[in-house]
Structure 1
Amino acid sequence: MTEYTIVLDRLDVAMRLGIHPHEAAPQRVRLSVRMTVAYPAPVSGDRIEEVLDYDFVRAGVLAMAEGPGFALQESLCDAVAALCLSDPRVREVRVGSMKLDVYPDARVGCEVVRASSSPRT
């Protein structure tokens, strides 16, 4: 078994996220995803078919951004983590979200770590 860390970093999207009236309109949110992925052996053929294609994560996040939104950053992070863990090769995922424009002097965010609950062979 060989493990790799796949990273999707600093993906900026405009989405509805928050509980306050001024957050009803989409706001800038930055997402970062780190997935620990297990393969049966080291990559040998230099072909995308051998590995996890991170396009599905990006596409899924963009679809979430187009949706109804989330009240909590925790809910957003959990939804992205569940998306990542839908691929059985993902053993663990770390998802961070950051609201970029809430305060003039700081950013506010959340991070979650989730592991797969299914046994790996």
Structure 2
Amino acid sequence: MADYAILIDDFDIAIRLGIHPHEAVPQRVRLSVRLDLSYPAAPAADRIEEVFDYDQVRDAVLALAAGPGFALQESLCDAIAALCLADPRVMAVRVRSAKLDIYPDATVGCEVVRGR
């Protein structure tokens, strides 16, 4: 077995996220995703077909952001984790979200860890 981690950090999106009236419009949210993967063997041919393509995570998150949104950061993080875990090579995923513009002196966020 060959174990790897893929990191997608500082992924800024605009998404409807929150319960307050002023959050009915998209706001800036920063995401970080860590995927722990296990492959049968280390990639030998240096080809994308041998490994998890992180483009699929980015594309799926952008599709989520274009949708109706979420009331809770927990729900957003769980949805992203579920997308990642759809690939059987993903053993665990850690998703962190942070609302960037809620407070002038802090970000507020959520982190979930999901595994098999």
Q: Which TM-score applies when normalising by structure 2?
A: 0.99
Using the TM superposition, give the Cα deviation of residue 15 of structure 1 relative to its aligned residue in structure 2, in angstroms. Answer: 0.5
Q: CA-atom RMSD, angstroms?
A: 0.5
**Aligned partners of 2:2 and 2:50: how far apart in 1?**
12
Match of 2:100 in 1: 100
The count of residues paired between Structure 1 and Structure 2 equals 116
**Aligned partners of 2:26 and 2:65: how far apart in 1?**
9
Match of 2:40 in 1: 40
Counterpart secondary structure, 2:105: coil
Structure 2 matches for 1:15-94, cutoff 5 A? Answer: 15-94=15-94
Identity across the alignment (%): 71
Using the TM superposition, give the Cα deviation of residue 44 of structure 1 relative to its aligned residue in structure 2, in angstroms. Answer: 1.0
**Deviations 1:62-90 (CA, angstroms, capped at 9, x unpaired):** 00000000000000000000000000100
Using the TM superposition, give the Cα deviation of residue 43 of structure 1 relative to its aligned residue in structure 2, in angstroms. Answer: 1.3
Using the TM superposition, give the Cα deviation of residue 18 of structure 1 relative to its aligned residue in structure 2, in angstroms. Answer: 0.2
Structure 1: tracts of 5 or more residues without a match: 117-121
Q: Which TM-score applies when normalising by structure 1?
A: 0.95
**Aligned partners of 1:103 and 1:48: how far apart in 2?**
41
